[in-house]
Amino acid sequence: MDIRKNEYFCAMKVGITICICGTAEKILNGRRYTMQRGTLHIISPLIPCVELSQSEDYAALSLMDTPDQLIDVMYPYLSHLAERNMPLFPVIELPEERCCYYESNIRDILSQQAEVSVMPQGILRQANEKLILLRKQTLVLELLTHVLSQPTASIPKPFTHKEQIVMQFIQSLVKNHTTERQVAFYADQAGLSQRYFSSIVSERLGMTPIEIITLVTINNAKRLLHEKGVQVKSVAEQLGFPEQFTFRKYFKTHTGMSPKEFRNLGTRCETWNSDQK
């Protein structure tokens, strides 16, 4: 799979959507949900969403960004979210007070984002873009705090057999992605043939197991490459690649650039170019 040639990955976003008025019917991961004021759901390439219908007064606010920007702050909590089955049940019902809080903050961030988008390139725009990103990350962390503070008993039950297989895969991938990148390993854990296992994951998540494994690996690689002072060799070791050359080839195959080129690109984006004044 070549991520750079796949529009699905190029346009990939993660974030949240909150209903502020009216109702809507959606299918998320094969389950039907009624969205109403205070209903918030997670936006992710791992969570297929089909909109069925909505009332005339339906309105929602969405806050999104690239995985590189938002998954960084979520990464330490991914295993906890997997244990709470968030990838299968990505809907949260917020009390009115919290709904008002998120509505106000998202509106403010979107307004600020629109203002910054028309600013001329330069240090002032970059500073404002950084501020907006920090506000998004703060809001995501506050949502994670809310989710993790809820009792696990509130999670819908029971799981179907296919949901159990998918959740086991996601939980195992979070724990083993640095050592196991073969679909066969996860199929064996589920006690299924690789073909049948892949069909279940694709049906429930809209992506093949190898696409999900690659997505997780590349996102973690990008996260580590953004860290200052971390050598490419160290990133390769942390992700379980036998040598730096193998990691470099894997990364370039799926992104179109070498790890060093990716790191340099990020450095250039963060550095103000005086020619843009």
Q: Specify the CATH number for 161-269; select among 1.20.1580.10, 1.10.10.10, 1.10.10.60, 1.20.950.20.
A: 1.10.10.60
Q: Label residue 12 by pLDDT band (50, 70, 90).
A: low
CA angle 238, 14, 119 (to 5 degrees): 105
- Using the predicted structure, report yes or no on whether residue 245 has a pLDDT greater than 60: yes
Instruction: Write the pLDDT tens digit of every residue in 173-227.
Output: 877 888 889 999 999 999 999 999 999 988 877 778 998 888 888 878 887 887 7
Peptide bond into 151 cis (omega under 30): no
Judged by DSSP in three states, 52 sits in strand
Beta-strand pair 39-43/91-93: antiparallel
- Going through 115-232 in order, the beta strands assigned E by DSSP cover none
Q: Between 76 and 21, whose confidence is greater?
A: 21
Q: Which of 10, 136, 131 lies closest to 74, judged by CA? A: 136
pLDDT above 50 (res 95) = yes
At 4, list the tokens.
């750079």
For the segment 20-41, the average pLDDT, to the nearest whole number, is: 88
pLDDT band at 30 (very low <50, low <70, confident <90, very high): low
Name every residue whose Cβ is closer than 8 Å to that of residue 267 and which is 6 or more positions away in sequence.
none
Residue that wins the pLDDT comparison between 275 and 180: 180
pTM: 0.61
What CATH class does 3-154 carry?
A: mainly beta
Which uninterrupted H or E stretch holds 34? strand 31-35
Domain boundaries, the chain: 3-154, 161-269
Mention every residue, 6+ apart, whose C-beta is less than 8 A from residue 262. 222, 225, 251, 255
DSSP 275: G
Angstrom distance (rounded) from CA 128 to CA 241: 38
For the residues 52-78, what does the mean pLDDT come to? 80
Q: Does pLDDT of 274 surpass 50?
A: no
